[in-house]
Amino acid sequence: MNPLRRILSRFRRSADMVGTPPYSRQVFADAGRDAVDFSRRYAEPMNYLVEHRMMELGIPTLRIGAGDPEHGIRHAAFHPYDTIGGSNGPGGRLTVDSGVFNPELMAGTPGQTAWRKARLRDRVDAVIAHEYEEAMCGGHVEALIRGPDTELPIPESARNLLRSIRGDRPER
């Protein structure tokens, strides 16, 4: 055997690939379904990141995360099966969900363009701040009003996203 061919044969791909090749995964036409699919695959690292971010923002530990018995989740800050962005439950327990990955989540609202263009970190911070304010004041509309002025130390870019969702016109 030619020495060059012997060396090149070591670098050829073997046919024993394990799992589904990335190029053959199903691509959904619906951004929401794609967000849930992605969230299910990366739920564990996302849960860690969301919990860590909530702690950085000063959310009390007893208010970080909740259970989802329907999907077998005992306790998590990130819920991959929910699709509305985030929730707050009994005791003001805050969660973020697959909606943060959906660019069409805010379709039909004043903040749809800003949401679509926003970085993931700003979306997560905006959802956390909104759900925090909703738990504090008790209502979604009040949280829309108070969200951009939250006491949480979110960056200005997340505050601007909340202002857009509230319906404020961007400053020129």
For the cut 80, the answer to whether the pLDDT of residue 20 exceeds it is no
Measured CA to CA in angstroms, residue 43 lies from 18, 89, 123, 134, 168 at distances of 22, 20, 17, 24, 33
Domain spans of the chain, in order of start: 31-166
Per-residue pLDDT tens for 31-48? 888 899 989 999 999 999
Give me the sign of the Cα torsion angle 42, 43, 48, 49.
positive
Beta-carbon contacts of 124 under 8 Å, excluding residues fewer than 6 positions away, are 49, 50, 53, 96, 100
Q: What is the mean pLDDT of the chain?
A: 87
Q: What is the pTM of this model?
A: 0.81
Residues paired with 79 in a beta bridge:
97
pLDDT value for 21: 60
Per-residue pLDDT, averaged over 124-153, amounts to 94
pLDDT value for 172: 44
Per-residue pLDDT tens for 72-120? 888 999 999 999 999 998 889 999 999 999 999 999 889 999 999 999 9
pLDDT value for 71: 84
For the cut 60, the answer to whether the pLDDT of residue 23 exceeds it is no
What distance in Å separates the CA atoms of residue 13 and residue 154, rounded to the nearest whole number?
47
For the cut 80, the answer to whether the pLDDT of residue 6 exceeds it is no
What distance in Å separates the CA atoms of residue 144 and residue 162, rounded to the nearest whole number?
8
SS3 of residue 119 by DSSP:
coil
